[in-house]
Structure 1
């Protein structure tokens, strides 16, 4: 548990597997030191391998902060920047992974290597097949219940049509009811049932300035705008950078459809580190896991940050899986806590009056 309240979970086995080809002698680090690591994760082996000049990209802010705390250079490559080696930890969601393979390939210099690692249980064989379809011949090794695979860039073997098709997979797209999302976000292709339950129980008299913590592509924020006419401003906080553009698009549409003046803003922010502003109300469907592991401490950290950011008479409305043990921390932070509804395995809770 970090000071921020988020478990900086140990990097999964894929990170360890990623460096196996260097240990076995199958690959060597480039002499020019030009290395880009996409979706990078911090870890002991990475600290041993990383060299000055390596660039690390990570869109999930807690993980990006962890890389920076390890003294690594975190940022984004220029659109036309090339590297002799591009490392990649592909995500499980296949459209997101394919888009990332295509983007990674664009940053590989001629004769350079694109190297990826995935757990066997999370689509490693499909990932390898996808890279082969895109880039041509692929080599692989297996270690730590993962598959690490790589391709050396040759203009003659890259399928340009597939490259263009897969690059487009990451573009924000309409999913349902006019909402914009993109592959790989939480509940990216649907309206999450828990969030919909909270939306249905939003008090019509919610007023003033509101924050949405962990707002994803913006569904809850849009519902606050649509259902609560006395709300004058809403700020959405989200740690995943890829969610920010869809969220802005969805909030802009919601504001237009509401036909009234209100201020909206979207922030790339780790909620567990606290908020700089005060609010009359906060809504949240807080995350409670990293990867496949339950992590109720994360939801509790959201509650603490919410309590610290609310006005003394402020209101917190949150939804959670029924089994999650949030009541004790809520009671310690608020004068009044009540469950509004329990339905389909979820509970909607209202907490009012921040304890001093």
Structure 2
């Protein structure tokens, strides 16, 4: 992973912190560039892999989507590397401002192409203050805003679940913070269309949905196959939305926060997956292999794993060390369905 200069700017500030500080962190944190643990800094993240990584390295860290249970007016500094989604960025700024002592400092960093200048300007205006800005280079900015009074930014009511995408079977509960939160992914719809055909000949009593999002594949898998569903995602917002959909539609199963299913020990008759090969995750060979490896580890010897990917993802080649039977029975203009059996 290339060095994130916006995180580097943020980490420069850690060395000066001695009073309680709040660090709101998500997206692709590079653990190799982390500074030494600062006991005054308390991290909060909506990414389970980041929560595990920071905790293992000795940082104070909580896994959550919001800060409703965090004491207000407690922290002297709040630090944010701006995330990619505008609603979440505004939510983090609002949450940070609410947790700072009077005249506390909000420090935000980001890249010019991510709109960091706009976030700095909006944060300063909301604080009825000015921003002290500096740069690492022409593309990487940081700013400190003093928070006394604060008018919250529009975060699209970030924490509230709402009925957003719908199809002929379900009106799904979702929210900002979940990838594609207000849409039905076309690749996932293709998988559902062919799920019964591709799972034919396998008795499916249990099914694992890797990277479940708000639960589209899980709910349809339960509807079509009647299996017990274990859904897992790395993102706290997705876990919350999927749990709500399970409750609303009486889906038999559970929703588990986990990084690529790493903390799940059970094996399943079927594994389904629409891997998160999109902006914010990248199309990395390592990530591809991690999802395949997880599917192989969690599949019974007679089970079936079904992946949907974009055409350009070479998942079949990556799957060869992990599965004996690899087929691509469905190919469309943009997607392909890959059927994997007999884990090695």
- Relative to structure 1, the CA distance from residue 292 to residue 335 in structure 2 (aligned partners, 3 Å threshold; closer, same or farther) is closer
> Could you tell me which residue of structure 2 aligns to residue 79 of structure 1?
70
Out of 277, 280, 290, the residue aligned to residue 269 of structure 2 is 280
Residue 10 of structure 1 deviates from its aligned partner by 5.1
> Could you tell me which residue of structure 2 aligns to residue 47 of structure 1?
35
Number of residue pairs matched by the alignment: 327
Asked if 1:126 is matched to 2:126, the reply is no
Q: Indicate conservation of the 8 Å contact 1:274/1:305, yes or no.
A: no
Q: Indicate conservation of the 8 Å contact 1:286/1:319, yes or no.
A: yes
- Pairing of 1:266-345 with structure 2 (within 5 A): 266-271=255-260, 273=262, 275-288=264-277, 291=280, 293-345=282-334
> Could you tell me which residue of structure 2 aligns to residue 37 of structure 1?
23
Q: Once the two structures are superposed, what CA deviation does each residue of 1:102-144 show, in whole Å capped at 9, x if it has no partner?
A: 1111111111111111111111122112212322222211224
Q: Indicate conservation of the 8 Å contact 2:222/2:252, yes or no.
A: no
C-alpha distance in 1 between matches for 2:50 and 2:2: 11
C-alpha distance in 2 between matches for 1:19 and 1:305: 33
> Could you tell me which residue of structure 2 aligns to residue 200 of structure 1?
193
C-alpha distance in 1 between matches for 2:295 and 2:155: 39
Asked if 1:147 is matched to 2:141, the reply is yes
Residue 296 of structure 1 deviates from its aligned partner by 2.7
- Relative to structure 1, the CA distance from residue 293 to residue 280 in structure 2 (aligned partners, 3 Å threshold; closer, same or farther) is closer
Give the helix-richer structure, 1 or 2.
Answer: 1
Asked if 1:62 is matched to 2:49, the reply is yes
What TM-score does the superposition give when structure 2 sets the normalisation length? Answer: 0.86
Structure 1 runs not aligned, ≥5 long: 1-8, 256-261
Structure 2 runs not aligned, ≥5 long: none
Which stretch shows the higher mean deviation, 53-62 or 114-123? 53-62
- Pairing of 1:77-116 with structure 2 (within 5 A): 78-81=69-72, 82-116=74-108
C-alpha distance in 2 between matches for 1:194 and 1:91: 25
What TM-score does the superposition give when structure 1 sets the normalisation length? Answer: 0.84
- Relative to structure 1, the CA distance from residue 95 to residue 285 in structure 2 (aligned partners, 3 Å threshold; closer, same or farther) is same
> Could you tell me which residue of structure 1 aligns to residue 245 of structure 2?
250
Q: Once the two structures are superposed, what CA deviation does each residue of 1:237-280 show, in whole Å capped at 9, x if it has no partner?
A: 1011121111111122333xxxxxx6310000012636300101
C-alpha distance in 2 between matches for 1:348 and 1:171: 34
